[in-house]
Amino acid sequence: MSTTPRIGDSISRTDGVLKVTGNAPYAAEHFPPGLLYGWIVSSGIAKGRIKSIDDSRARAIAGVVEIITHKNRPHMAFLDGSYGDDVAPPGSPFRPFHDDKIAYSLQPVALVVADTLENARDAAALLDVTYEAEEHNTDFGIALADKYEPKKTRDTFEKPKPRGNAKQAFADSPVQHHATYHSGNHHHNPMEMHGTTVEWNDGKIVVHDKTQGAQNVQAYLSGIFGFSKKDVRVMNPYVGGAFGSGLRPQYQVVLATMAAKLLERSVRVTMTRAQMWSHVHRPEAEQEVSLGADQNGQLQAIINKATTATSKFEDYMEVIVNWGLMNYKCENAEGEYTLASVDTYTPGDMRAPGAATGMNLFEIAVDELAYATNVDPLQLRLLNYSEKDAMHDKPFTSKALREAFAEGAEKFGWSRRTQAPGSMREGTDLIGWGVATGMWDAMFQKTAARATITADGKLEVASATADIGTGTYTVMTQVAGDVLGLPLADITAKLGDSDLPAAPVEGGSWAAASTGAAVELACKSLADELYKYAGKVEGKPLEGAKRDEIAFVDGFIVVRANPFKRVSIKDAVAASGKDKLEVEETAKPGILDMASQLQKSRNTHSAIFVEVKVDEELRIVRVTRVVCAVAAGRIINPKTARSQILGGVVMGIGMALHEETYTDHKLGRFMNHSLAEYHIPVNADIENIEVIFVDEPDAEVTPLGVKGLGEIGIVGTAAAVANAIYHATGTRVRSLPVTVDKLL
Burial 196-227 (b: 16+ CB within 10 A, else e): bbbbbeeeebbbbbbbbbbbbbbbbbbbbbeb
Identify the CA nearest to 216 among candidates 175, 172, 248, 257: 248
Pairing of strands 669-670, 491-494: unpaired
Which class for 427: exposed (0-12), middle (13-18), buried (19 or more C-beta within 10 A)? exposed
Cβ pair 648, 713 in contact under 8 A: yes
Residue-by-residue DSSP string for 704-734: T-B---TTTTTTTHHHHHHHHHHHHHS----
Q: Does one domain contain both 646 and 734?
A: yes
Consecutive H or E run containing 439? strand 429-441
Compute the half-sphere exposure of residue 278: CA atoms within 13 Å on the CB side of its CA. 28
Q: Please report the pLDDT score of residue 3 as a whole number.
A: 77
Q: Please report the pLDDT score of residue 591 as a whole number.
A: 63
Q: Which of 537, 555, 588 is the last residue of a domain?
A: 588
Q: Does one domain contain both 450 and 401?
A: no
Q: Does one domain contain both 236 and 324?
A: no
Q: Does one domain contain both 564 and 624?
A: no
Domain holding 314, by residue range, is 166-186+281-443+598-743
Consecutive H or E run containing 169? helix 166-172
What pairs with residue 345 in β-bridges?
A: none
CA distances from 264 to 197, 223, 231, 537, 634 (A): 13, 19, 14, 54, 50
Residue 343 lies in a domain: yes
Cβ pair 639, 11 in contact under 8 A: yes
CA distances from 221 to 69, 72, 94, 261, 511 (A): 18, 19, 14, 11, 24
Q: Does one domain contain both 298 and 375?
A: yes
Residue 593 lies in a domain: no
Q: Please report the pLDDT score of residue 1 as a whole number.
A: 46
Helix 717-729 and helix 638-657, axial crossing angle in degrees, nearest 10: 50
CA 739 – CA 598 distance, rounded (Å):
43
Q: What is the pTM of this model?
A: 0.97
CA 97 – CA 113 distance, rounded (Å):
15
Residue 309 lies in a domain: yes
Q: Does one domain contain both 489 and 372?
A: no
Helix (H, G, I), strand (E, B) or coil at 67: strand
Residue-by-residue DSSP string for 229-259: GGGEEEE-S-----TTTTSSPPHHHHHHHHH
Q: Does one domain contain both 395 and 449?
A: no
CA 280 to chain centre: 13
Residue 31 lies in a domain: no
| End-to-end Cα distance, the chain | 60
CA distances from 130 to 50, 55, 234 (A): 6, 11, 36
Which ranges of 535-673 would DSSP assign to H, the alpha helix? 569-575, 591-599, 638-657
Helix (H, G, I), strand (E, B) or coil at 643: helix
In CATH, what number is assigned to the domain containing residue 41? 3.90.1170.50
CA 270 – CA 196 distance, rounded (Å):
6
Coarse DSSP helix, strand, coil percentages of the chain, rounded to the nearest 5 percent: 30, 25, 45
Identify the CA nearest to 606 among candidates 712, 689, 691, 470: 712
CA 119 to chain centre: 36
Consecutive H or E run containing 357? helix 355-372
Residue 285 lies in a domain: yes
Q: Does one domain contain both 556 and 693?
A: no
pLDDT along the chain (744 residues), means of 10: 83 95 97 98 98 98 98 94 93 97 98 98 98 98 98 93 98 98 97 98 97 98 96 98 97 98 98 97 98 98 98 98 98 98 98 98 98 98 98 97 98 98 97 98 96 97 96 97 96 98 95 96 98 94 93 95 94 96 94 72 98 97 98 97 98 98 98 96 97 96 95 98 98 98 96
Pairing of strands 36-42, 267-270: parallel
CA 165 – CA 161 distance, rounded (Å):
12
Residue 528 lies in a domain: yes
What pairs with residue 112 in β-bridges?
A: 39, 67
Q: Does one domain contain both 79 and 227?
A: yes
Identify the CA nearest to 98 among candidates 125, 74, 120, 81: 74
Residue 264 appears among annotated catalytic residues:
no
Q: Does one domain contain both 570 and 451?
A: yes
For residue 212, the one-letter residue type is Q
In CATH, what number is assigned to the domain containing residue 523? 3.30.365.10
Q: Does one domain contain both 636 and 560?
A: no
Q: Please report the pLDDT score of residue 2 as a whole number.
A: 61
| Neighbour tally for 429: CB within 10 Å | 17
- Which residues are CB-neighbours of 416 under 8 A, at least 6 positions away? none
Q: Does one domain contain both 274 and 330?
A: no
Q: How many domains does the chain have?
A: 3
CA distances from 321 to 90, 186, 318, 334 (A): 20, 19, 9, 9
Helix 214-225 and helix 251-263, axial crossing angle in degrees, nearest 10: 50
CA 596 – CA 331 distance, rounded (Å):
25
Among residues 314, 460, 529, 711, the one annotated as catalytic is 711
